[in-house]
Structure 1
Amino acid sequence: MKQFLTTMAGVFAGLILFLVGVPFLLIVIAAGATRPAPLPSDVVLQLDLRTAMTDQDVQNPLSGFGRRSNSVMSVIETLKRAEDDRRVKGLIVRLPETGMEPGAADEIRLALKRFEASGKPVIAHSQGLYQAGVITSTYMVGAAAGEFWMQPGAALQVTGLAVEDVFFKRFFDKYGVEPDYEQRKEFKNAVNGYLHSDYTEAHRTAQLSWMNSVYASTVGFAAADRGLEPAVLRARLEGGPYPAARALELGLIDKLGQLHEAQEAMLETAGEDAQLIELSAYARGAGSHAGSGPVVALIEAEGPITTGRNSLSNPLAPSAMIYSDDVAQALYDAAEDDSIRAVVMRVNSPGGSDTASEQILAGVRAVKAAGKPVVVSMGTYGASGGYWIASEASAIVAQP
């Protein structure tokens, strides 16, 4: 019996050590992996847009593992700082082969143009653009660069904008399934796929409305950056797909070349001692940007909206969630802090809990009651509850 108890105690101690010690060790390793290296005196930054981007930085202790992805806000802020950094000589942008979220693409496009306006060159390089949803947004980012390169033999397939929806009604009818949903109004279309076998008139109107708006704005911005009339660019894009050489002939891109050739061209412009580093590495090495005086507080809110708090002690918990206790408390803290003169709340949300949304909106009201303006900056989504929490802000700013 004594041996059995000793064995069980050992097993229990080992289990506790595994459950507590291993996560702690992983966090320590992750923290060490993110320690910045000294920056060279002359650098060319490289921004890789091929990995999925969040709108805001990931709040997860294990986010330092593996390939570090960029967030839209970190890209914009880092490029803004790089504009005034004499060590930074230029920028290479690696475009994804598929589509980008339109709002994110538009904000990155503007950041590239500001960076180039500071006197530093930008090269966008593509290994092909292939039709997948909002691929026009990816082309728009490439068109904003001073030089738009494409790999020889690649294809440019920017022939429109597409969205697919799946409808299950006939499937349900076949197997006797009866979906039971409440639908507030005809334009609340999230459950239409379970209730219908095709688009309702309201659903079709809603889809085509935002699609036509996004398509027109992205083509218009790309046309301005390429020095073409929107109708001309649209006709050329929709006449595709094209091999890269034909895209060059039509003025849709500027040069043909491998990535290595584009990098060498930029490094040659930057100087013989210049080194190529990733934008995320530059952001870590450049350090924090501290100021003094009155403060504008930035409160971030990304993901579905739910009640409760985010438990950062659980590294496996979803990071892209808006927890109403956390966001509301941040708003109340900003209302009571005399050094904070205004609040910018960044919202990127498809919606969620109505009670959680109302809790956050009460925090917005508290800030305004303290005499401080609240400006909402919207990312790609500001839908349903995402609009609810923004609806009483002093102003709402969104990309076209």
Structure 2
Amino acid sequence: MEELFLDLSKKGRNEMDESQIDFKDIKAAKTEWALLAPVIAEIFSEVKHTGGVIDSPLYPAENLYNDLDDELADRVFLKGDHQLPIAGSIKARGGIYAVFQHAIALAEGNGFSLKGNYNWLLSDKAQELFEDYYLEVGSTGNLALSIGISGSALGFKVRVHMSDDAKEWKKKLLRSKGVEVIEYEGDYEKAIAIGREESEKNPKSIFIDDENSRLLFLGYSTAAFYLEKQLEGLNLLGENIPPIFVYLPCGVGGAPGGIAYGMKYIFGDKVYPLVVEPETAIAVSKALIDDDRELIFSSNSNEFNFTKGDGRTVADGLAVRNPSPLVMESTGNLFAGGYILDDSEILNSMALLYDLENLKVEPSAASGLKGPKSVNKLLKANGYENIAAEAIHIVWLTGGSMLPENDWQNYYDQVKK
């Protein structure tokens, strides 16, 4: 199954809900990243050469789209968050930011005055303070890696609540970092609910809530500032900014929501963020369709029929069935639509990305690859030829550099068979 729906109504800053996230918050988050960068560079050798900046390349996708839709070949780009340092996925943006912000708040709450000088986080006193506290999270895997790696590096005890279908290699890697992994029968929703409840019982436990964390959201939102510079460097942002379609693999919606909010702040009604979800784990798309919006469907009808799946999917990072309330309140009306596909299409995209661009990602990260072709076709079929002709497309590759070679090869072999 492949389904696409679009809302092309103009939505800029005026439509952004500031009840939970304010414009000044994302500007403050940008400043916080800059203040933290020297400390992050000191802790993690892999970002020494960037001065502690955590960002990823922006790749042209000419080879891929010469094969998929040659008229798009010079207008599609791949945002390589699968190569983000430290945690190897888009979750590095939110998870690492949240961990360091919690550490700062904890220090100041215990009488240490940091005043924007975060070198104190490298001190023995910081280690002594943090080792008495737990950081906890419910996760399907990548957020757990982000929080587990950065939290342990600061000295926290980290506890991760995971459903039993989470990938074994992620559990093994977490345990190698000293993280306690607790597994639950059932799906992600059960793991996060129990994890949240257990954390509330412990006064020295901090639960980083994937469904409702402002800090995660703000960490993701700052990706838009880096992307703006990259687009400027490619001379893609002239006096008249072109329409920008962004394809964001989506679980509860935290990372897509944060990035969409940041991009709307910068580009206003010129950007069209789309969530990408597997058909067995539809969360945000369902909420968008139920929102009584003016939608264009790939089926050229006004109906969109699907049943709520069991949540099992090869795209394990997307295996959730309920959206984040924070994201839907702050960003729900800013999403321009959704793209829904089945596991075979996700795996085919993963293999195609390697065959034509020599990039290895985990399946969920490749799920948006065929979005630009489908959107381009839908725009032209519904009288939006001018947008189709001018638009650039950004496919967000959200994770995979930590995926073991054998696991990647098994996915690839499934396609080739």
Q: TM-score range by the shorter chain?
A: under 0.3
User: TM-score, with normalisation over the residues of structure 2?
Assistant: 0.25
Larger Rg: 1
User: TM-score, with normalisation over the residues of structure 1?
Assistant: 0.26
Structure number with the higher helix fraction is 2
